[in-house]
Structure 1
Amino acid sequence: MGLRERQRLETLRTLRAAAVELVRDNGLTETTVAEIADRAGVSRRTFFNYYACKEDAVLGAGTPSVPEEPLVEFLETPPGPARLDRAVDLILAVAATIRQAGERHVDHAELVAKYPQLTERMQQHGTSAQESLSAAIALHLADAPAAEVEGARALVLLAGTVLRFAYRTDPDVFDNPDSPALAHAADVFRRTIKELS
């Protein structure tokens, strides 16, 4: 990792730490972007170069992107049980791009539980991630039959549901792809879908 990237990560983490500390001390509504920037020792302009809003700073979150490698791995995996696993891997890779500050998902769970605005912001990022994934799939499969595109999109949506199901048992699942809860959730959904056939 180069110097510029290390400095970027340090600034992201410093801003996030300041936001979390201020929100814990003063509350979300009472905390301002100016206070977060001051606590972090940066300007408001610098704050907005890193985070869109104070909620994102608390979450350490940014705009999602779709990493090429897991997308291609998913799309090139033939039909079968492994394809759901690749779809889950893809969702986890996209979720990792949202967490700019590199913090674990559970690190802000207490604040998310306390402030519904943070849950709402997380849901907005999730919706944005689904839209980005859908667009990336359509772009990569531009010449494929419509049924193949629809199938890939449906499997990505199913993978998101598998992750939410696993999250109920293990809130750390987004940071632990080897979680037994994730393997169990995938098995439950495979079994349930098989029963529908």
Structure 2
Amino acid sequence: MQTSDMSLRERNRIDTWTAIHNAAAELALAHGWTQTTIEKISSQAGVSKRTFFNYFPSKEDAILGALEPSIPDAALEAFEHSDEDLAHRTVDLTLAVIRASYPYEEGRARRRKLMKTLPELGSRVKHLSVGVEQLVEPVVLKEMLRIAEESPKQFNQSAEDAARALTLYAHTILRFAFTKNPDAIPEQGTEAVASAITTFREVIQTSIWLT
């Protein structure tokens, strides 16, 4: 999270959010899922239960350091004005939403460890992943319809199906990049994502001729 150019109130809010997340993650690593209660998290973070729920809807989100998926304004603007093709833009947009969902980059190694050791987090991670797709897909659909109006090219399938397929394609590329390089999500992992895009394109192009 960037705290420069923020008001004191905004910085205090980020500090409280971070304190709750750190307390939750540290307790979960030390004591496991069952023993990590909202009461203990709140106590270690120095906040009330009411304050806890002002920042996180659940214990899972506090442990993960997760926010409900949203599309950053800058990411949407980049998607709409990028010179890249639509597939590449969809990957970039999806990546931006994922990054915004897990803003505490300093804790990413710890989060990976938590996801490996606490299977209870799996359903929440999956839910957040679906939330990312549900945000990205209508944006892609809108762009596809705009392109269709301006171009003589026609889709061989419905625009809705095409948008859904492209959204899933983008998410799959990012999952591949992440398995190859766990640091592919942060900003410095952009090269790993670009490499994954190239790999998928080459494999798809090659497989067309492998009959």
The TM-score by the shorter chain falls in which range?
0.7 to 0.9
Distance in 2 separating the partners of 1:103 and 1:57: 15
Match of 2:173 among 149, 152, 162: 162
Q: CA deviation at 1:142?
A: 7.0
- The structure that has the greater radius of gyration is 2
Structure 2 counterpart of 1:183, one-letter code: A
Structure 2 counterpart of 1:121, one-letter code: R
Q: Which residue of 2 aligns with 1:87?
A: 90
Q: Which residue of 2 aligns with 1:181?
A: 192
Q: Which residue of 2 aligns with 1:96?
A: 99
Distance in 1 separating the partners of 2:8 and 2:131: 30
Change (3 A) 1:194 1:74: farther
Kept after mapping to 2: 8 A contact 1:60/1:103: no
Distance in 2 separating the partners of 1:154 and 1:103: 33
Deviations 1:66-112 (A, max 9, x none): 1233234334556xx64333222211210122114454533311111
Residue pairs, 1:43-62, within 5 angstroms: 43-62=48-67
Superposed CA RMSD: 2.6
Residue pairs, 1:1-20, within 5 angstroms: 1-20=6-25
Deviations 1:106-147 (A, max 9, x none): 331111111111222111100111112224445666777584
Structure 2 counterpart of 1:24, one-letter code: L
Pair 1:25-2:36 in alignment = no
Report how many aligned residue pairs link the two structures: 195
Pair 1:151-2:154 in alignment = no
Q: CA deviation at 1:155?
A: 2.4
Distance in 2 separating the partners of 1:70 and 1:89: 8
Kept after mapping to 1: 8 A contact 2:144/2:163: no
Distance in 2 separating the partners of 1:177 and 1:38: 35
Distance in 2 separating the partners of 1:134 and 1:12: 29
Give 5+ residue unaligned stretches, structure 2: 1-5, 149-154
- Helix, strand or coil at the partner of 1:123: helix
Q: CA deviation at 1:182?
A: 2.2
Give 5+ residue unaligned stretches, structure 1: none
